[in-house]
Amino acid sequence: MPVDFNRVPPRVDVPPPPRVSMIVWTVLLALVMAAGAALTLMLWPTSSLANTLWFWFCVAGYPFLAWAFLLFAWLGYGYVRRNQAIATNRVSDEAEQACHALASRPLAILGHAWCFATDDSENSLEGVLTRAELTKLRPSAAIADTEVNARWLDIPDVRLQPGNELTEHARHHAVCSWLLERLIDRLVPQLRVLPPRTKLQVELYHQSRLKSEAVEIRIRGLIAERVPALKLGMASGEHSASFFRTDAWLDNRDINMAHLLVAIELRDAISAVLSDGVAEAGVALLVGHPRLVSPANSSRVLLHRPAKATLDAAAPTLELAARWGQSSRDRLRTVWAHGLTGDSVSAVRQAASLADETQWNALETSVGDCSGAGSWLAAALAAESVRTTGDPQMVLCGEGKELIALMCRKQI
């Protein structure tokens, strides 16, 4: 069942306990006693004696009882309102806690792969953490005697000459085919250990000159060739490339379904001069129910539910993501970020209030701006960092004016 915090009853203000004002109730007692005595004298029958016990009870007893009834009714009404508010808040807290408990149930990252450079050392996690490669100016592949501060993929042993849009389309076709084969091959061991009844739902997000149908056919062919026993489904074009897509995966916790996210970002590297800071990348992320992973595998990495809000509400967003990640911001030592530039980086870092030794890895600095694939690349790098270090990692993604945050951690 999807987590919906809108179903949580809103909390109400709890009124203070009723307090008796001695002055008000003393004056009211005097007025009631006087009114009771006056009514008794006016309505008392002339034929009845006026010095009996019943007479004095009507003069003083009934008015006092009426005053006491008003006092206790007022006190009772005040305590009923207070207890109702407390009960409403208790139900609201229990419902909210139940939603948080449900939201804290993770998926397992069954496998991950990425590629933004041909050189394996540059493409490794260690190469990303050194943050040295992107700062190097490189000769442009489109125009001679021009240097650019950008990153693009070169297929080994294949030399593509500068050209027009048609040449660029051919390059994208060759790079995409090579890139998909490299990503899928790295996930073959994880795909082969999935239970036979598992359905693999592939979601493709790509930005290139190729049509989605051509990329889908290539993915289907690679998986069918290497893991023919898997039941394959495609969900290309049905959803946006938002990093918040992980929220829907966590809502649909089908034990017999695994999700394979493939994100590709290609640029016009040989037909135009690339802008500073841009990069090409391919990412594959395989996630599924934790039961799809063997209990003997102690190195499995968990993916938790993302929290999303505006950049102005960065602090509660990070707090919520850490809570759902069964961690705390005090324990975070590594943050992976993409899509946060300029003043938004400083604002989020200030709102996060993390420890001074926390390492911030902005992919725009170490890898480059990978656009739609950047947030998924950050998640894959965080998963690899969790696997190697065991420390929980937070992934931050800026999408327009929104901030998305989620936690990756190791299975305890």
225 & 295 share domain: yes
Query: Which among 103, 125, 142 is the end of a domain?
Result: 103
124 & 272 share domain: yes
Which of 302, 285, 330 lies closest to 387 in space, CA to CA?
A: 302
pLDDT at 298: 56
94 & 44 share domain: yes
Query: Which among 37, 71, 103 is the end of a domain?
Result: 103
81 & 124 share domain: no
The rounded distance, in Å, linking the Cα atoms of 49 and 44 is 9
pLDDT band at 49 (very low <50, low <70, confident <90, very high): low
pLDDT at 143: 87
Q: Tell me how far apart the terminal alpha carbons of the chain are, to the nearest angstrom.
A: 25
327 & 233 share domain: yes
Q: Which two tokens stand for residue 269?
A: 């590297």
pLDDT over 90 for what percent of the chain? 49
76 & 175 share domain: no
pLDDT band at 118 (very low <50, low <70, confident <90, very high): confident
Backbone angles phi, psi at 360, to 5 degrees: -100, 120
Which of 396, 106, 96 lies closest to 251 in space, CA to CA?
A: 106
pLDDT at 295: 61
Listed in order, strand segments (DSSP E) in 149-304 are 199-207, 231-234, 257-265, 281-288, 301-303
139 & 193 share domain: yes
Specify burial of residue 85 (Cβ count, 10 A radius: 0-12, 13-18, 19+).
middle
Backbone angles phi, psi at 56, to 5 degrees: -70, -30
pLDDT at 36: 81
CB atoms within 10 A of CB 138: 15
What's the rounded mean pLDDT across residues 145-167?
86
pLDDT band at 237 (very low <50, low <70, confident <90, very high): low
Contact in structure between 336 and 394 (CB atoms under 8 Å): yes
Contact in structure between 321 and 380 (CB atoms under 8 Å): no
Query: Which among 82, 103, 124 is the end of a domain?
Result: 103
Question: Residue 280 pLDDT more than 90?
Answer: yes
Q: Which of 4-8, 246-250, 288-292 has the lowest mean pLDDT?
A: 4-8
What's the rounded mean pLDDT across residues 150-160?
85
pLDDT band at 135 (very low <50, low <70, confident <90, very high): low
Question: Residue 48 pLDDT more than 80?
Answer: no
pLDDT band at 199 (very low <50, low <70, confident <90, very high): very high
Question: Residue 202 pLDDT more than 70?
Answer: yes
Q: Which of 81-85, 218-222, 277-281, 337-341 has the lowest mean pLDDT?
A: 337-341
- Axis crossing angle, helix 314-324 with helix 343-352, rounded to the nearest 10: 60
> Pairing between strand 301-303 and 107-115?
antiparallel
Instruction: Find tokens 């979601």 and name the residue.
Output: 203
- Domains contained in the chain, number: 2
44 & 175 share domain: no
What's the rounded mean pLDDT across residues 86-106?
92
75 & 125 share domain: no
Contact in structure between 330 and 345 (CB atoms under 8 Å): no
136 & 69 share domain: no
94 & 116 share domain: no
Task: Give the DSSP H or E segment for 308.
Answer: strand 307-310
Across the chain, mean pLDDT equals 88
Task: Give the DSSP H or E segment for 337.
Answer: strand 334-338
Q: When comparing pLDDT for 309 and 331, which is higher?
A: 309
Q: What is the extent of the structural domain holding 235?
A: 107-410
Q: Which of 90-99, 137-146, 212-221 has the lowest mean pLDDT?
A: 137-146
What's the rounded mean pLDDT across residues 197-219?
92
pLDDT band at 185 (very low <50, low <70, confident <90, very high): very high
What is the pTM assigned to this prediction? Answer: 0.84
Q: Which of 152-161, 201-210, 277-286 has the lowest mean pLDDT?
A: 152-161
Q: Which of 95-109, 297-311, 393-407 has the lowest mean pLDDT?
A: 297-311
What's the rounded mean pLDDT across residues 14-41?
87
pLDDT at 312: 87
- CATH number of the domain at 212, please: 3.40.47.10
Most confident of 30-39, 148-157, 232-241, 387-396: 387-396
The rounded distance, in Å, linking the Cα atoms of 152 and 100 is 42
250 & 380 share domain: yes
